[in-house]
Amino acid sequence: SVLVVSEKRNLIRTLPTVVKLKAVAQHAVATPGSVLACRLELDRTSNFPGAMEIELLGATGLTAEKVKIEAGQTRVVVPVEVGEQMAGHKALALRFRATGPMPDGTMVVTEVAIPVRFNE
């Protein structure tokens, strides 16, 4: 988002979206002490053929190694370990971030959140 206050006319030109991280399933169900397979997809344009690194952001009680999605690849599965301490939790959202360089060196960042419900 952008907020601009000006007495003159301004033109703001944004770049089109070149890659977008999406969840294959709109939600997930997890059991404490298990591994949750989060299926993610990159919606790419021809302007972004490169590789990206996907990481799980700030999820206490849930851990995942960084996963690399190779150039041209569109789907990946990120295994998320669900800690026993998640017992008693009802739900939360897992947030994944993908980062990778454009051919000109510009860093591209895209995120997705997946709602997760916990089984007892």
- pLDDT tens across 90-109, in order? 889 999 999 999 988 889 99
pLDDT in tens, 25-48: 999 999 999 999 999 999 998 888
Residue whose C-alpha is closest to residue 62's, from 42, 39, 91:
91
Instruction: Specify the pLDDT at position 15.
Output: 67
Please give the model's pTM, rounded to 2 decimal places: 0.83
The DSSP-derived string for 84-118 is GGGTT--EEEEEEEEEEE-TTSPEEEEEEEEEEEE
With b meaning 16 or more CB within 10 Å and e meaning fewer, what string describes 31-67? Answer: ebeeebebebbbebeeebebebebebeebeebebeeb
